[in-house]
Structure formats: C-alpha cells, structure tokens
Structure 1
Amino acid sequence: MLASPAIAVAEPSLEIGKGERLLVLAPHPDDETLSSAGLIQQVLQQGGSVRSTVVTSGDAYVGAVMLDSGKRNPSAADYLDFGEKRLEESRRAAEILGKGFVHLDLLGFSDGSIYSALVSHWRRNNPMRSEFTGFDHVPYRQAEDHGFAQDGQDLLNELVAILQDTKPTIIAFPDVMENDSDHAGLGMFTLLAVHNWLLQNPTQRPQPKLLAYLIHWQHGWPTGSNWGIAQDWSDQPLLLPPDLPLRGHSRACINLSPAQINLKRAALAEYKTQQRIMGDFLSAFVRSSECFTQLKPRDGKRIEQVLEHWRQVRKAFDNHPLSRRKI
C-alpha cells in the first residue's frame, strides 16, 4: 500500500492498476521528472513498467549555456557540450527514480526542433538545422538517434515504433496548450503517433489512458516558479491552472506520499544545469500531487480536426508558441 499524503487534491484521483505499462514522453531533459516523477514511482510500486523517452537534448537554453560556459557568446561546441550534460542529467535522475527499472530513451534531437519538424521540416530531405549547434541531424554519440535527420516524418515513425514496442496502458505527454514550442509540438506529435499506432492495431486492448501534463503556462503558474529563489512547496498540491481550457476533457490527479515527494526532489537535484539558473521553477513542481488533463484515445481519431482546433484555441492566448530564442 502507498503511504497517504497529508493533503488531498480537489480533482478526481487517477486510478493506477497493477502491472500498468507507462510511457512518459518529454521534450527536454527534466520534463519527464517535473511532470511524472510521482506517477513513475507509483506505477513501479504497483508492479508495472516504465519507459521514458526524452526527445531533445535541451541544448539551446541560451541563458543556461552562457552561465555554464562562462561566455557571453557561446560557440556551437559550447551548446553541444551543454546538450551532453543535460542528457547525462536525465540518466542520473532516471536511476534515482527507477533504481534501474526505468527504460530511458534519449533521442538527442536539437532543442527547438520539434515544433519546426511539425510545421515546416516534415521531410528527410528538408531537416531542421539548429541555429545553435549547426547540425541538421542528431549529433550526440550517446543518443539513441545519433545521425538521424531532424524531420517530422522520422520523429513520428520513431514514436509509433516506441508505442508498438511498449504497448503502453498509460501515456503521459505535454499538453498541446503548453506555452513552449517543443512542448506544444510534442503534444501534437503524440496524438498523431497514438492515432497511427491504434490504426495499425485496431484490436489493441486496453486502449491507453492519455494524460496531458503542463509545465509552461502564463500568469506565473505554478506559484513560486518565478520568484527567483527556491521555496519548499511540498505540503501543497499542484493543481492545473483554472484558465487552462478544459476542451471537453476531464482532469485527474495522483497524491504523492512524503517518500515519493522526497524522491522527486532528489531526482530534480540531478539536473544541475537547470538548478543553477531556474531552481525556483524546479522546486515549484515538488508538491503533494501531480495533475493531468485526461484525454480519450478516440480524441486522436480525427487528427486533422484536432490540429485545426488546437490552432484556433491557441489564438486566444498568443499568436505563436514561444521560440528557443525568445526563451
């Protein structure tokens, strides 16, 4: 039995059965831990399996690279070195959370490539070239996708292959409403991949729970994420913001025990490149709950309509997801 936390959350509880197969899809190193560290622990404690796929290396966080390199104008080599460090941070965090039982995929795409691959670099003969590293293919030798072109079709095919191999019963992925280009883009890629996977496997049972998580939002959410100094929020729940459109979906949360909260904090401490520049942001996610917008598998069946709906809903918030350069 899982220990009961001191504080309950307002949203309905997410049911985690025995032997679940969880797939966490993250755009950057640390997103898998920020969003789903508690979920990962609870699935493992229920005898399930966990696969975590981090798509990019997070190599284009300009301010962090400047801080890490000590240079006002970092070189391509500095961005590459930073990307290697971030990939290694995900490895260490996964070891802490899963004690060797998390299957971690580090694909190594360039930071900022996901949204570009979705909207303007779909074909292999027109891959996205990073303005920071100068590469149009995955440059990291330790990455799963070393040498792969950075294009949408190849990324989609790989996500479908991961789904086919894992056959997840739960998929955690970024909400398409995220105020970050890679996050929003991976949300759409996930819906596309799930749609294609289920088309190839029409008798797939059970169909997976689709859990959309939120990392980047407006108006200083979550509280404390932009205070400039890390605070301890672990006795408070992390509820989704009230102005996040529900879009006909439902929401669900898990409550974290004190031990699960402490392990999440320990895993996040491994992201040292991020702790140096945004420790307040990371600490704001160490709370007594993790909450998700829960979609239904059929929500991806009319994917063209989903894409169009996404574009229309986003217009109420901004004209374009944030770019790496703006961040």
Structure 2
Amino acid sequence: MSRFSPLRPGRPPRRWSRAHTVSLTGLLATLTAAGINGWSWLPTGWAVVSGVERSGGQLAHAAPVTGRVLFVSPHPDDETLTAAGLLYQVQKSGGQAFVVFLTNGDGFPWDVRTQTFRPTLNAGDYLRQGRLRMNEALDATRKLGIPKEQVLFLGFPDRGLTRVYTQNYLIPYRSPYTRADRAPYDGLFQPKVPYTGKALEEVMGRVFDKVQPDVVLAPSVLDTHPDHRSSSYVATRLASERGVRLYYYIVHGGVEWPLPKGYHPKLPLSPPRLEQQGVRWQRYNLTDEQQAVKVDAIRSYRSQLRLLSRFMWAFARENELLLPTPAE
C-alpha cells in the first residue's frame, strides 16, 4: 500500500500536531474570553454585547420609587450592586431608604483567606470578616446618602439562612464558620437573636414595624443563591401580609450572569430572562450622577473586589433591574 494519500497524490498526509492543539485551544479561549468580557471586536464578544443591548431595549421603564423604601439584603454589597442608584435617588428626592442586612457575609472561606493568608481558619477569623463587612456596608450606604440609623444588621449566619428557615425553625442552628448559634456581633438591630426560623421571622417583623415601608425591595425567588431565596420567602410573606408594594431584584441569575463581565457603563443591564413567573422585568434608568455614586459605593467593598471584581463591576451599567409583583 502506498504511504501517500490517494486524495493528495505525491504528498504525505498532514498529521494533527501538538502545535495544532495549542493553537486551537488558544483560539477557543480567546473567543470565550471575548464573549465573557464583551470584546465586541471579536465575533463572540459582539454577539454577547448585541444580545444584551437587544434584551435591555425590550424592557419597559420602571416608575420612580418614592416614600419609605426597605431594601432586604442577604449580604453586604447586594444593596449596592442592584439598587445603589435607586436608593440614592430615594434619599435625594426626600424619601427614606432603609437597608436591613440579614447576614454579615461571614461564611465565605476564600474571602477570609485573602485577609489571613493562612490555610487553616478558625471562628475568630470568620467573625473578624463579619465585622469588616459590616464596616464596608456602613461606608457604602453612607455614600448613598443613607443615615446610619437607617441601616440595620441582624447578624444571621451567612450560607445558613435556608437551614435556619427550613430545618431549624425552633432549634438553633450553629454556623460551621463562626461556631455561633445566635447573633454574635455588636451594633445589631436586636442582639443575641438565636439562629432559628421563628426568630428570623419575628425580628424581620420588628424591622417592618420600625420602618413602616411603602415599598420593599427583596431578592428574586429564582435567585440561585440559597440565602437570597430564603430572604425572598420571608420578605414576600411579610410584605404580602401587610399590603406593602413589593419589587424583586436579582444578583445570582445563573452561570456567568450578568454578561459581559467587567465595567461597561454604557451598556444596559439585562435580566437572565425577560420574564419571571409571567411578569416582565423593568429597567430603572440611572443618571450620570447616580452611576458615579454607585461606582463609588462598589469601591467600599474592598474585601469582595479582591475576588469578585469583574462580577461586581458588571452591575455598574446604565440601569438597574426591578421586577414588580402583581398588586393585590
């Protein structure tokens, strides 16, 4: 048998080499990075940017949010990523914006390691991280014009709200990170609250009693983070029982959402899906001033920017997202 290819007489067949593999891998990596980061000069990046612009253009404009507004934040930074411009405008226009942080974000090991640089962590490390994130939240909300007395911390366990609400309704849950089974921080809305679902409902009820909100902003029930979904269940029930207008926001919308990653202030922020449970998302447009304030507030979360900067900056767009709930 001839060693030459019958399709190419007189020439040996080309073999796939390691150099070909490296080149193809590099090309695929570049095209993937173009899509994730919105490099519109490459096809995949152009496709992502075009899809975001098209989706954002299909959203109706949200009406101004006014009055006494309560933002329900599972972790410090959720309020800034999703509603910094809105909360700033509420305060500026004569309303009152309140933020309640259900947890202090004290259950993220990689975050804690960036502070300690030690492979083995202890409860004290997580508690120090919780106090750090409280201070970052106070700095961020101050930049939004929200007085300190309108910022409330509950101190429930990060990455534990679902267990607290669904499995530990009466028996206190113990955080595997801080080793606490009740709220351990100074400066809380109500100190030493046990980590039970019953206590979570009761203290959130007291927050509603104190604020008497006209509008509540809460995480979407379809957010992929368990803490966010549990926060949504509690806030939805309380707002519904009291006849308070409720809007949803979203932080964790699925794999790689939001795209493109990084800072793209001239692009809209589009939702993972245009509709949720038959209701269409709306866009809350931001002025240049609101965008600048939001950027400054994001910078307050230095501990998070060390690990999640491209994710966090992806929320600094020309609008924020709101999902209205049906009026009863």
With normalisation by structure 2, the TM-score equals 0.79
Q: State the match for 1:179 in structure 2.
A: 224
Equivalent position amino acid for 1:15 in 2: A
Say whether 1:51 aligns with 2:107.
Answer: no
Equivalent in 99, 107, 121 of residue 154 of structure 2: 107
Structure 2 residue ranges without an equivalent (≥5)? 1-53
In 2, are the aligned partners of 1:24 and 1:173 still within 8 Å (CA)?
yes
Cα deviation 1:182-212 (Å, max 9, x = unaligned): 011101111122234x2xxxxxxxx433111
SS state of the match for residue 256, structure 2?
A: coil
Q: State the match for 1:301 in structure 2.
A: none
CA distance in 2, matches of 1:153, 1:277: 34
In 1, are the aligned partners of 2:154 and 2:190 still within 8 Å (CA)?
yes
Equivalent in 214, 217, 221 of residue 257 of structure 2: 221
Q: State the match for 2:211 in structure 1.
A: 166
Q: State the match for 2:304 in structure 1.
A: 274
Equivalent position amino acid for 1:107 in 2: L
SS state of the match for residue 248, structure 2?
A: strand
Equivalent in 34, 37, 41 of residue 81 of structure 2: 34
Cα deviation 1:275-317 (Å, max 9, x = unaligned): 111111110001110012111354xxxxxxxxxxxxxxxxxxx
SS state of the match for residue 156, structure 1?
A: helix
SS state of the match for residue 114, structure 2?
A: helix
Q: Compute the displacement of 1:112 (Å).
A: 1.7
Q: State the match for 1:145 in structure 2.
A: 190
Say whether 1:254 aligns with 2:284.
Answer: yes
Equivalent position amino acid for 2:317 in 1: R
Q: Compute the displacement of 1:162 (Å).
A: 1.8
In 2, are the aligned partners of 1:56 and 1:108 still within 8 Å (CA)?
yes
SS state of the match for residue 71, structure 2?
A: strand
Q: How many aligned residue pairs are there?
A: 274
Equivalent position amino acid for 1:144 in 2: F
C-alpha change, 1:178 and 1:99, in structure 2 (3 Å) is: closer
Say whether 1:23 aligns with 2:84.
Answer: no
C-alpha change, 1:47 and 1:269, in structure 2 (3 Å) is: same
Equivalent position amino acid for 1:142 in 2: G
Structure 1 residue ranges without an equivalent (≥5)? 1-6, 199-206, 226-230, 299-327
Mean Cα displacement is larger for which, 266-275 or 245-254?
245-254
Q: Compute the displacement of 1:122 (Å).
A: 0.8
Normalized per residue, the structure richer in helix is 2
Say whether 1:61 aligns with 2:108.
Answer: yes
Q: Compute the displacement of 1:102 (Å).
A: 7.1
Say whether 1:11 aligns with 2:59.
Answer: yes
Q: Compute the displacement of 1:68 (Å).
A: 1.2
In 1, are the aligned partners of 2:74 and 2:231 still within 8 Å (CA)?
yes
C-alpha change, 1:245 and 1:122, in structure 2 (3 Å) is: farther
Mean Cα displacement is larger for which, 100-109 or 208-217?
100-109
CA distance in 2, matches of 1:149, 1:132: 16
Q: Compute the displacement of 1:104 (Å).
A: 0.3
Equivalent in 248, 258, 264 of residue 233 of structure 1: 264
SS state of the match for residue 51, structure 1?
A: strand
The two structures, once aligned, show a CA RMSD in angstroms of 1.9
SS state of the match for residue 98, structure 1?
A: coil
Cα deviation 1:114-146 (Å, max 9, x = unaligned): 1112210111xx011100111100111222232
Q: Compute the displacement of 1:87 (Å).
A: 0.7
Q: State the match for 2:24 in structure 1.
A: none
Mean Cα displacement is larger for which, 63-72 or 7-16?
7-16
In 1, are the aligned partners of 2:85 and 2:290 still within 8 Å (CA)?
yes
For the pair shown, the structure with the greater C-alpha radius of gyration is: 2
